[in-house]
Chain A
Amino acid sequence: MAIGVGAIAKGLWVTLRNAMRKPVTVQYPEVIRPKPERFHGRHVLNRYGDGMEKCIGCELCAGVCPARCIYVRGADNPPEAPVSPGERYGYVYEINFLRCIYCGLCVEACPTEAITMSNLFEFSFTDRDDAIFGKDLLLVDPDGTPKHSGSHYDPRSLEESGGWMRATSPGGDASYEGIPGWSADAGHGVRAAEAGQGADPADPEQVLAGHRDDVGLAGRGAAPEALDFGALAKKAGLSGKETPT
């Protein structure tokens, strides 16, 4: 019983200590916390700095989508007024947000960084059909501002629409520390690279090593070393016997 009293006193101290801390919650509709840089909000379709659409209608996003929520129909660019640089453009682009699981595979698949995930998440539907966003809602304005549906949103979200792409799309390889590896966005120009990915930007060997891994071409330098699992395991503090085979 004496032990129980001690435990109760300990618990009472825990709650008392926590009562002196600042609340971790905020008054949401009035106060909006900044989103993490890689937040998976709803998608936007980006434009180049000159206002051209980045989407080329290749349908790789629709192909990779595990939820099958993306529908793309490409069309040939009209020669006199091209919509995108290149042969084709996204004529129809629809995402069903009731099916989307916000995994971001479409962003990784996109060869032109046309589709990225924004920080916008405050959208609701009164009809199932309203959940299917077409190009009218997905495509950013010529000045790079995403369209927002609904009356309540974080204005900062309109500026942060390319965050996820910067971190993980092939152009934004992690080893490109300090080197933006992606094309300019309308209204935003070339965004600054995300810091802290691990590679030392001053060391070209490290930067290139990361890139070599990515493309897997031996011709661009020495072939990457075979991974030594034993050494890795030792580094991680495991005993030699537990090395994976």
Chain B
Amino acid sequence: MEFDGWTALIGTGTVVAVFVVVMLMVILAVWAERRVAAVMQTRIGPNRAGPFGLLQTIADGIKLLMKESITPRQVDRLVYELAPLLAVLPAFLALAIVPFGPGFCIGGQGTDCSGGYFVDMQIANLNVGVLWFLSMSAIGVYAALLAGWGSGSKYPLLGGVRASAQVISYEAALSLSVVPVVVAAGTLDTQGIVLAQSQYRWFLLPLFIPALFFFVAALAETNRPPFDLVEAESELVGGFHTEYSGVRFMLFFLAEYVNVVTISALFVTFFLGGWTGPYPVAGSVNWAPLFGAIWFLAKTVCIIGIFFWLRVTLPRLRYDQLMALCWKRLIPINLVYLMAVAVWVAYQATGDLPRLVGGG
């Protein structure tokens, strides 16, 4: 398959499609979070803008666009301007490796799609997809850190310091929760991880502990309650984004929800079988890619719902509890589990347990 105009068009189309889908999900997520919170607090919630208040996010967005972006006098101009961009860009870039569906063939023949164009339902089908995601979420730390430093104000600084410690710590826990998946699937390619879970061999059951820890680390990684110490409004005013207003604040807000969507999508990819579903079996029906996307988005929405549910329920952790949870529970248990998984996978491959555990 050579590179030509069609390839470029398909690539661009994929990017636009993913962007549109994710932006729609973000818009609905912001609205849904407020409605879910309201229902759980026996309130009504936003219901004025559009039917059921669905346009509330649009209204909020327009409001933030119209508002003045105040730049405080004490800021470090370059760092201050850079931080919101560093929040949004990695959030969207991490989306590139999310497989929304099985991929399909246009105009080609056979399983290798000869003579046609194979369309991946993801922006980039990288063979190091997992690493790409981990590195992008690591870059996201800089947003909170630089925002806190560049604002030239004490509350953002405290938020930034918390962000650096919290997110870097949980980055380790998050990575260690993904490694068992990679070991079990035998690939770093997200599409390959999904295929390894076909026929309902979801990793959720055999890798329940890593799945649970991945979810906990995901909450901390996205600064969602109960791990929202970075922007703890009862302690730090607004945390790292205290000094941001208008469009710049909107970018932080957008990044948070894009991160929530991304990490929920990756939870589905790693542990809930991705786009596989009861109907149809991949590739057997013409509409398989569409159904794949529907299963995938349905699962993702469920995970996002759990994010909201936890947010309404749990109080914020104390800082030392947060660190103790990560370093004394998640990481050691994950390491032990990783070793067990590795031994098991090697045993399945070689059938020679005694040599594996060093017995001879």
Contact = CB atoms under 8 A, between A and B. Distances in A.
Interface of A: 1, 8, 11-12, 14-16, 18-19, 21-25, 27
Contacts of A18: 40-42
Contacts of B355: none
Given A11-B314, A15-B309, A15-B312, A22 B42 contact: yes
B40 A15 contact: yes
Given A8-B313, A12-B309, A12-B313, A1 B329 contact: yes
B302 interface: no
B313 A24 contact: no
Contacts of A25: 42-44
Interface of B: 36, 38-44, 309-310, 312-314, 329
Counting from the closest, the 9 A-B pairs by CB-CB distance are: A15-B40, A11-B313, A15-B313, A19-B40, A19-B39, A24-B42, A23-B44, A25-B43, A15-B312
Given A11-B314, A15-B312, 5 more contacts: A8-B314, A16-B40, A23-B39, A23-B42, A25-B42
Nearest to A14: B313
Contacts of B310: 12
Instruction: Identify which of A16, A19, A21 gathers the most chain B CB atoms within 10 Å of its CB.
Output: A19
A24 B312 contact: no
A58 B288 CA distance: 88
B309 A21 contact: no
A1 B40 CA distance: 26
Contacts of A12: 309-310, 313
Contacts of B42: 18, 21-25
Nearest to B321: A4
Contacts of B314: 8, 11
A12 B306 CA distance: 10
A150 to B, nearest CB: 22
B168 to A, nearest CB: 23
18 contacts: A1-B329, A8-B313, A11-B313, A11-B314, A12-B310, A14-B313, A15-B313, A16-B40, A16-B309, A18-B41, A19-B36, A19-B40, A21-B42, A23-B38, A23-B43, A24-B42, A24-B43, A25-B42
A87 B344 CA distance: 104
Nearest to B41: A18
Nearest to B36: A19
B49 to A, nearest CB: 14
Contact of A27 (B38, B41, B44): B44
A1 B209 CA distance: 13
A91 to B, nearest CB: 48
Contacts of B313: 8, 11-12, 14-15
Nearest to B212: A5
Contacts of B43: 23-25
A27 B216 CA distance: 37
Contacts of A15: 40, 309, 312-313
Contacts of B41: 18
A26 to B, nearest CB: 8
Contacts of A16: 40, 309
A16 B44 CA distance: 15
Contacts of B309: 12, 15-16
Contacts of A24: 42-43
Contacts of A1: 329
B41 to A, nearest CB: 7
Nearest to B39: A19
Nearest to A22: B42
